């Protein structure tokens, strides 16, 4: 089977809807939460225990959970947008006829169920967070995305809860680090805000609002250095990389809000969530752990060349 034939196949179409490149950014959220919970440090300091199946089992379940939750959420996004995509993006899997809406509904439902069931293997709190993410994703897809205020907040809540899903590897740690969810909430809200012009172009005012939100995110990361036992020096290189990759794209989209510039800013923003997570995670653990999270970026970028991100 040639590459062209493979990309035209039904299986490839359903894989496209799952946005594989984006799923790796959800993995980065889990790895950050796992680091904040203290589970990663415990594994590192106990030596061989770090490689034991039992010690890594909660992390494995949580990575499977976020795969199902994110994949199911974006599949339902295409389901609810099928009529709109038929007009604006007819090349998408459902309007192009390469995938059916009914089968996409089944796929999305199965993926969301996998997300909740996998989380339940870790703890009741993990299952509760996964259920919240599933409901929030569906509410965004069906209703909230069309509201300029509620939509970005709704999408941000999905990401914030996903980070806490990683923290729930140690359930009691969620009480201590719940505020970490505020950073992805604001960051994803900024991306969602600026993304409203990715089809027909946007406005400078929207781009400026997104830039202000991005500034709050950067300030939030800097503020984490005030936490006891948080390694600010480990964070710095990753934080600088994050700013260098994301800020110019957002500035260009704000100054020249064409559809092309906005899509570039959205793509940079989504993929660089991995860099943001690596920066924060390194402060809770070590720069080596941060590099481990960052290693997801080239893989995600490679997948982004094959599958749509926005």
Distance between CA atoms of residues 271 and 15, nearest Å: 18
Each residue's pLDDT tens digit, 132-146? 999 999 999 999 988
Distance between CA atoms of residues 129 and 110, nearest Å: 18
**Mean pLDDT value across residues 86-108:** 93
Cα dihedral 68, 71, 76, 79, rounded to 10, equals -140
Each residue's pLDDT tens digit, 180-198? 999 999 999 999 888 876 5
Q: What is the pLDDT of residue 289?
A: 96
**Mean pLDDT value across residues 9-15:** 87
**CB neighbourhood size of 233 (10 A):** 10
Distance between CA atoms of residues 17 and 168, nearest Å: 28
**Mean pLDDT value across residues 39-65:** 72
Confidence of residue 2 (pLDDT cuts 50, 70, 90): very low
**Distance (Å) of CA 190 to CA 21, 235, 245, 273, 300:** 20, 22, 15, 12, 21
Of 12-16, 50-54, 56-60, minimum mean pLDDT range:
50-54
Q: What is the pLDDT of residue 235?
A: 95
Share of the chain above pLDDT 70, in %: 91
Of 151-165, 189-203, 243-257, minimum mean pLDDT range:
189-203
Distance between CA atoms of residues 269 and 255, nearest Å: 17
Average pLDDT over the chain, rounded to whole?
90
pLDDT higher than 90, residue 203: no
Compare 276 and 148 and report the one with higher pLDDT: 276
Q: What is the pLDDT of residue 201?
A: 63
Domains identified in the chain and CATH numbers: 14-304 (1.10.357.140)
Q: What is the pLDDT of residue 294?
A: 97
């Amino acid at each position: 089977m040639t590459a062209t034939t493979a990309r035209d196949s039904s299986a490839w179409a359903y894989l496209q809807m799952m946005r594989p490149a984006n799923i790796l950014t959800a993995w980065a959220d889990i790895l950050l939460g796992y680091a904040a919970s203290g589970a990663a440090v415990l594994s590192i300091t106990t030596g061989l225990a770090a490689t034991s199946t039992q010690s890594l089992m909660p992390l494995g379940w949580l990575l499977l959970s976020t795969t199902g939750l994110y994949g199911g959420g974006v599949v339902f996004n295409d389901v609810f947008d099928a009529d709109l995509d038929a007009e604006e993006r007819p090349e998408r899997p459902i309007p192009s006829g390469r995938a059916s809406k009914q089968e996409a509904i089944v796929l999305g439902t199965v993926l969301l169920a996998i997300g909740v069931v996998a989380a339940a293997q870790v703890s009741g709190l993990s299952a509760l967070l996964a259920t919240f993410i599933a409901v929030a994703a569906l509410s965004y897809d069906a209703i909230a995305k069309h509201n300029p205020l509620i939509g970005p907040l709704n999408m941000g809540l999905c990401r914030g809860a996903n980070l806490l899903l990683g923290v729930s590897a140690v359930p009691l740690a969620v009480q201590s680090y719940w505020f970490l969810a505020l950073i992805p909430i604001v960051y994803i809200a900024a991306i969602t805000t600026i993304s409203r012009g990715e089809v027909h172009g946007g406005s400078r005012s929207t781009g400026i609002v997104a830039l202000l939100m991005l500034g709050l995110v950067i300030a939030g990361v800097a503020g984490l250095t005030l936490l006891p036992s948080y390694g600010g020096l480990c964070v710095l290189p990753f934080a600088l990389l994050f700013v260098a990759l994301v800020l110019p794209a957002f500035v260009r989209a704000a100054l020249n809000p064409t559809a092309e510039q906005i899509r570039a800013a959205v793509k940079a923003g989504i993929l660089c969530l991995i860099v943001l997570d690596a920066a924060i995670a390194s402060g809770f653990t070590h720069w080596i752990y941060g590099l481990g999270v960052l290693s997801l970026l080239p893989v995600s970028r490679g997948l982004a060349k094959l599958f749509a991100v926005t």
